[in-house]
Structure 1
Amino acid sequence: MLTKEQIARFLTEDPDGFMQAVAANPEAFSFDFAQYLDENDPISLRDTFDIGNITPFAGHSLGPVYKPAIEAIEAVYKLQREELHAGHFPETVAVGGNWFDCDIEPEAIRAAQAILGFADPAEFIFTQSGLSANLANLLDTFYKPTRKDWESGKTKICHLSTEFFSDQSVVHSVLKRGILNAANFGVFENATAPDANDLTIKLTPNAQGLYDSQSIIETVKRHASEIQVLHLSDLVFSTGQRLDIPYILRELKDVIEQHHIIVGLDLAHTVGNRTINLAEMGMVTYAVGCSYKHCSGTAGSSFGIYVNRNVDLNSYPPIQGWKAAESSKVFAEINGFNQAIMANNGARAFRTSNASPVALAPIQTYLKRMNAIGWDKLTAKSECLTRYMLALLKARLGARFELITPEDPKQRGATIVFRVKGLSKVSSVEEELKKPNALGQFELDVRPPNNIRVTAHYGYTSFVDIQKMVTKLEQVIVNVLVEEDVIAKTNFFQQAGAQKVVGNTPGITS
């Protein structure tokens, strides 16, 4: 049996060693062993999450409530009750105030820096608006084809063909606005204005929905003279695949610089799941994310934006409000305007209106608490949970299990996407898992065509949870397969009977 010290080291430092120990233990997939791992887990955070009757395994869509976030929100209201307007200003920072700059609160920015790896604190701000609104703002700012670009055809946005609907909708909206602006300036006087669909270059995956780095690189190189913006997701929501963004951008460095291509990232499934180093990828212009997936925010809750400090914002002027001014100087200019005190680089140049401290409290609290533990330790535990769950799924589902997500940890995060051979009605699996029984109720989710998505979270998933969920999943899948087989056979005999009746009816031929 593993010692407490061994388990602590495995779960915080050594996922490879953990799985070697699992492989060597014939009882590793027993309930007792899972319980033993939980009892000796050095990062036991489950009690900090408010989990109801349904055990969550779909934190990639929406996680459970993080209790300290509620406490942080209550603290904001308490300060408002006691200090009223004074809560805005630096004098109240010691008691959680200084709301005027809550979107750039230093400790929270450092916590964001720990997972995103940006070089300068000015490159990131927390926002009250959600991912799609932030993406729309950034893309509308950086998609700026000149008349020369319209004449040469350098007007396109390149993105994954399976990108989330909202990202594609934003892309099309920005393209339509760009086309209209060009038309208003007479660009198409002697030609037909293009359709937004004609201005997208879609990167295509293989039959399983997975992307090949070399194929992406070759496509971008081939169309480089046409591309204004290259927009990629770090982690693909439908398959759990993590693109090798550092390699892709290294290989495209000369092309991106030569053709002045704007590079943007969607980090919706990265934030709170895996770390990324934006400073090492110096060619990334902007990035967006969200907090309601792996960071357990409420539905649609905000995160923030990243803008590279080296981007020339004189060429891409953002919409600014008074918050883009230096906080210590703006009140002296409150009845006028002074361009000299406005931020002119990084994300801080994109500040507009006051952000609500209530809106930002959950994500900032989550990041600060997790950063205090250490993302290296949290990632190691996540890997142990994910690999254990994957091994158990393989063992229990056997030849029926078809893994979609790449198994290599460098090519995925915590989300595992798979199919069950012979199973067509995957929605039944999601529904049946939520129904009460002795093992419990569990939530995972499904996506077309027949993908099942499941995530074990370092904060609130236990090894016993994995045991129970996979055991029930196996039972549910067997039952659904049997039901589908019965329905198929019934339909077959009904069709055969109908054909026989038709064939024996006078005047009717089959």
Structure 2
Amino acid sequence: MDTTESGARELDQGDPGYRDRFAIPPAEGGAYPEAAYFAGNSLGLQPLAVREELLEDLDDWARLGVEGHLGARRPWLPYHSLLTGTAARLVGALPSETVIMNSLTINLHLLMVSFYRPEGERTKIVIEDSAFPSDSYAVRSQARFHGLDPDSAVVRLDAAEIPDFLDSEGNTVALVLLGGVNYLTGELLDIPAITAAGQAVGAVVGWDLAHAVGNVPLRLHAWGPDFAAWCSYKYLNSGPGAVAGAFVHERHLGDARLPRFEGWWSTEEATRFDMAPVSRPPSTVEAWQVSNPPILAMSPVRTSLRIFDEIGMDKLRARSIRLTGYLEKLLDEIVPGRPITVLTPREPEHRGCQLSLRVPDADEVSRRLRFDHGVYTDARKPDVVRIAPVPLYSTYHDCWRAANAVATVIGEVA
């Protein structure tokens, strides 16, 4: 393998990606003016088109005031529907199953109101032992809300342990709620197989797709989970705290037996301004909406989703496999014998674009990578540094910079 800088440049000539569509931060150290940005699994970069399109929405507010609800270039009343088609295609769902709303954990709570219904011996919630803390807090609070002891109701398992647990204890499981791609290790779980296994024992199955959406292809309608939710500020590049998304499979849509929290936007659009005291929810996932959408926050999501729609997730996934594989080989060849371990599975089909490295001091390694070499990563205490070559804007030269910087920094810190 050619591990030289010129070799990385040649690969970029033949496989250039879409870096010119994004604002790349300046490097704060090192020999290059732009950062090698590998923190898209925490916050994606800003698409250049966002500024102009967001200003258009601001201008309509200035020009029209309240009349913008119906008279804006992109009318505000149905604005969320402008995102539905592109979001549905991205996650492999029907438009009726897909909605952009709220934030990730709010959506998980709204969905668990409907789908976590403990009864009799079927009370347990299965999550990953290394689940993102917010998911852990959410399911524990749901168990407590139902009068259960979260220490016994919430079962934490390694992904490999889940099938055997479902076989032996499936009659006690009310909900399986897992991350599609584990935030810490970068492992891509077998979403269709786990979904089928959970449902076969009578459990409801939901997915947190925060680290999967925009990272790996998804086929939610075909795979058949009961529900899913995701955020939009990581691989979807929609800005800090961006509006999130939710999915409910069509077999549940219009089911009046499901309890839901309701509000202004939970009733059907055609009669919303009849101001009736009783909601008339539509037979779509929009019945799970509560509040009217934040237009100015939705604008960047709309811009970003259009990029994915234009390029296609399958094409991005193919480039992701090439790019991440290149970084992995560089680390193998440039950093041999150093005190690092790659936690992420080696098989491309079992991971997204993230490589998680176990290092001696994650905070110090990540700090030096950024300020001494202009390489943005992120640290998860005490000893994991995550490096995500995002296929939209990362380059082979970025990967070359990262591998060489890791070799240098590890040699200094170890």
- TM-score over 0.5 (shorter chain): yes
Instruction: Structure 2 unaligned segments of length 5 or more: list them.
Output: 28-34
Cα deviation code 1:62-116 (max 9, x no counterpart) = 2222222222221110111223223212x54xx2x221122222xx222112221
Work out the number of aligned pairs and report it: 405
Is it true that 1:163 corresponds to 2:137 in the alignment? Answer: no
- Deviation sequence 1:303-341 (CA, Å, 0-9, x none): 21111121264222212223223323322x12x2355x4
> Which deviates more, 215-224 or 246-255?
246-255
Which amino acid in structure 2 is aligned with residue 302 of structure 1?
V
**Cross-structure match for 2:371:** 435
CA distance in 2, matches of 1:426, 1:327: 50
Aligned pairs for 1:346-385 within 5 A = 346-385=284-323
Q: CA deviation at 1:361?
A: 1.3
Whole-Å separation in 1 of the counterparts to 2:36 and 2:132? 26
- CA offset at residue 242 of structure 1? 0.7
* 1:230-288 deviation per Cα after TM superposition (whole angstroms, max 9, x unaligned): 111110011000111212233444323xxxx2211000101111121111222x11111
CA distance in 1, matches of 2:362, 2:291: 44
C-alpha distance in 2 between matches for 1:474 and 1:393: 8
Aligned-residue offset at 1:38 = 2.2
For 2:154, which of 200, 203, 208 is the aligned residue? 200
CA distance in 2, matches of 1:38, 1:386: 14
Which residue number in structure 2 is paired with residue 136 of structure 1? Answer: 109
Which residue pairs with 1:188 in the alignment?
none
Query: What is residue 72 of structure 1 aligned with on the other side?
Result: 53
1:93-492 to 2 correspondences below 5 Å: 95=73, 97-105=74-82, 108-118=83-93, 120-127=94-101, 129-145=102-118, 149=119, 152-179=120-147, 194-203=148-157, 205=158, 211-212=159-160, 215-256=161-202, 261-282=203-224, 284-311=225-252, 313-331=255-273, 333-334=274-275, 336-337=276-277, 339=279, 341-343=280-282, 345-400=283-338, 401-420=340-359, 424-436=360-372, 440-481=373-414
Hey, what's the Cα distance between the residues in 1 that align with 2:168 and 2:76? Answer: 48
Relative to 1, partners in 2 of residues 1:50 and 1:72: Cα closer, same or farther, differing over 3 Å? farther
**Letter matched to residue 175 of structure 1:** A
Give the secondary-structure state (helix, strand or coil) at the position aligned to 2:251: coil
Structure-to-structure mapping, 1:23-34, within 5 angstroms: 23=1, 28-34=2-8
Instruction: Provide the rounded CA distance (Å) in 2 between the counterparts of 1:428 and 1:413.
Output: 25
Task: Give the secondary-structure state (helix, strand or coil) at the position aligned to 1:141.
Answer: helix
8 Å Cα contact 1:144/1:316 also seen in 2: no
CA distance in 1: counterparts of 2:389 and 2:223, whole angstroms: 29
Look up the match of 1:45: 19
Q: Aligned-pair RMSD on alpha carbons? A: 1.9
- What is the distance in 1 between the residues matched to 2:258 and 2:358? 44
The separation in 2 between residues aligned to 1:389 and 1:155, in whole angstroms, is 43
> Is the Cα–Cα contact under 8 Å of residues 115 and 274 in structure 1 kept in the other structure?
no
- Give the partner amino acid of 2:89: A
Shift of 1:226: 1.4
CA distance in 1, matches of 2:305, 2:99: 14
Counting aligned pairs with the same residue, the percent is 27
CA distance in 2, matches of 1:376, 1:342: 35
Q: Distance in 2 between matches of 1:101 and 1:409?
A: 40
Please say if residues 156 and 226 of structure 1, whose CA atoms lie closer than 8 Å, have aligned partners that are also in contact: yes
- Report if aligned partners of 2:171, 2:201 keep a CA contact under 8 Å in 1: no
Shift of 1:47: 4.4
Inter-partner Cα distance in structure 1 for 2:186 and 2:17: 25
Question: Do 2:17 and 2:395's aligned partners in 1 also have CA atoms closer than 8 Å?
Answer: no
TM-score normalised by length of structure 1: 0.75
233 and 377 in structure 1: CA distance in 2 versus 1, 3 angstrom threshold: same
SS across alignment from 1:219: helix
Contact 1:46-1:461 within 8 A present in 2 as well: no
Q: Is the 8 A contact 2:36 2:375 kept in 1?
A: yes
Query: 2: distance between equivalents of 1:122 and 1:252?
Result: 24
Query: How far off its partner does 1:216 sit?
Result: 1.0
- Are the counterparts in 2 of residues 49 and 460 from structure 1 also a CA contact under 8 Å? no
Amino acid aligned to 2:410: I
For residues 199 and 174 of structure 2, the distance between their equivalents in structure 1, rounded to whole angstroms, comes to 15
Structure 1 unaligned runs (5+)?
Answer: 1-22, 180-193, 206-210, 482-510
User: What is the rounded CA distance, in whole Å, between the counterparts of 2:266 and 2:149 in structure 1?
Assistant: 35
Deviations 1:185-204, CA, capped at 9 Å, x for gaps: xxxxxxxxx5221211221x
Taking the aligned partners of 1:324 and 1:98, their CA distance within structure 2 comes to 19
